[in-house]
């Protein structure tokens, strides 16, 4: 994408909701620090600040406005967050300079209006007790309402270009090409090629109902090992991470199954992780959940390696 005619490499993140760009002045942003508002003739400074929390760390940001273009779409004025400070080790070797959040666009407004509700409720409690509210409580409620109204007046990025749907196709290997299609109509044109998975919950994330997760062994060898999740689990579909995250109970069951194998380092004999989303069958090979880890192993990983270390 471009911002003020500067080319910015962004990662598409279905697990977040806003456009977050790493500023060139951010000394803690590693190689991701790129966007320079002083080189742009169309940058507008905002008045808000915020922090963004990701699985890989936290950022501190200033609000800004810029002429942004993405894919085939022409430049339009877009609100974004410029990162000025970060605690994200991944940025030291990142291949991106922005996080393009494409989660449910209304979620930031849900969060900010919930904060408004909290501050207004706190303010109201004084009056309900026939007490004079302190000026600090009045100011806090007033400021929060102003912030909520201001954020509500700005279009989320997908709304800016009227993008009601999109698709992401990622290669399974490191360095493999990925494809993003804005306004993709293929699922509607050829529905027989796709499995439709309903979004569940309150639209705070792209989540689906995951059922019958299990370890299934190649060639039908060994009994399938249930991974729990009786009655189904809410699974977050997050393109911003390459990891599989699961509750401790599920991870422990995987460890136990690995421990029972004669050689847990032989990928050809390791089980697939299988599960269903809306009745559709999905399967992940061992390469999807096994990785090379550098450093000193700890906990169950250390115990597993010591037990199966070649003699």
pLDDT score, position 309: 63
pLDDT score, position 202: 64
In a domain, 171, yes or no: no
Q: pTM of the entire structure?
A: 0.80
Cα angle value 140/144/148 (rounded, 5°): 175
Tell me the chain's radius of gyration from C-alpha atoms.
Answer: 24
273 with 238, same domain?
yes
256 with 282, same domain?
yes
299 with 213, same domain?
yes
In a domain, 187, yes or no: no
Measure Cα distances from 81 to 57, 63, 161, 195 in Å.
16, 5, 18, 35
pLDDT score of 194 more than 70: yes
In a domain, 168, yes or no: no
pLDDT score, position 205: 80
Instruction: Look up the domain containing 112 and give its range.
Output: 107-152
Query: Which residues make Cβ contacts (< 8 Å) with residue 309, sequence separation at least 6?
Result: none
Highest mean pLDDT among 75-89, 195-209, 244-258: 75-89
> Number of structural domains, the chain?
3
Number of neighbouring beta carbons within 10 Å of residue 106: 14
Q: Strands (DSSP E) along 5-118, which ranges?
A: 6-7, 10-13, 19-22, 44-54, 57-69, 76-87, 98-101
206 with 134, same domain?
no
In a domain, 81, yes or no: yes
Residue where a domain terminates, one of 92, 125, 152: 152
| pLDDT tens profile 125-161 | 999 999 999 999 999 999 889 888 988 888 888 889 9
Least confident of 144-148, 211-215, 287-291: 287-291
DSSP H or E stretch at residue 141 = helix 135-152
DSSP H or E stretch at residue 279 = none
In a domain, 261, yes or no: yes
91 with 139, same domain?
no
In a domain, 241, yes or no: yes
pLDDT score of 298 more than 80: no
DSSP H or E stretch at residue 188 = helix 186-189
User: What proportion of the chain, given as a percentage, has pLDDT over 90?
Assistant: 39
Residue where a domain terminates, one of 126, 152, 178: 152
DSSP H or E stretch at residue 93 = none
pLDDT top residue among 293 and 238: 238
| pLDDT tens profile 41-51 | 999 999 889 88
In a domain, 177, yes or no: no
In a domain, 98, yes or no: yes
CATH of the domain at 252: 2.40.70.10
């Amino acid at each position: 994408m471009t911002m003020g005619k500067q080319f910015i490499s962004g990662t598409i993140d279905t697990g977040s909701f806003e456009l977050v760009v790493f500023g060139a002045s951010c000394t803690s942003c590693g190689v991701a620090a790129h966007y320079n508002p002083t080189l742009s003739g169309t940058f507008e400074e905002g008045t808000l600040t915020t922090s963004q929390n990701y699985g890989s760390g936290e950022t501190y940001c200033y609000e800004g406005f810029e002429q942004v273009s993405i894919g085939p779409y022409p430049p339009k004025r877009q609100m974004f967050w410029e990162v000025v400070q970060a605690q994200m080790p991944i940025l030291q070797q990142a291949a991106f300079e922005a996080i393009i959040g494409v989660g449910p666009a209304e979620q930031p407004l849900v969060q900010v209006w919930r904060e408004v509700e909290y501050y207004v409720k706190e303010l109201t409690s004084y009056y309900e007790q026939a007490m004079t509210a302190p000026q600090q409580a009045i100011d806090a409620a007033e400021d929060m309402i102003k912030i909520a109204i201001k954020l509500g007046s700005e279009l989320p990025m997908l709304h800016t270009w009227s993008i009601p749907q999109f698709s992401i196709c990622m290669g399974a290997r490191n360095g493999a090409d990925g494809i993003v299609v804005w306004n993709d109509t293929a699922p509607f044109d050829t529905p027989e090629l796709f499995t439709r998975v309903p979004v569940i919950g309150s639209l705070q994330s792209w989540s689906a109902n995951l059922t019958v997760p299990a370890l299934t062994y190649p060639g039908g060898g060994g009994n399938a090992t249930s991974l729990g999740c009786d009655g189904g689990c809410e699974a977050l579909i997050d393109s911003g991470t390459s990891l599989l995250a699961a509750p401790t109970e599920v991870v422990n069951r995987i460890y136990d199954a690995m421990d029972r194998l004669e050689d847990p380092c032989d990928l050809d004999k390791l089980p697939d992780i299988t599960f269903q989303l809306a009745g559709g069958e999905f399967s992940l090979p061992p390469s999807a959940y096994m990785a090379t880890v550098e450093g000193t192993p700890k906990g169950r990983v250390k115990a597993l390696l010591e037990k199966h270390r070649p003699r």
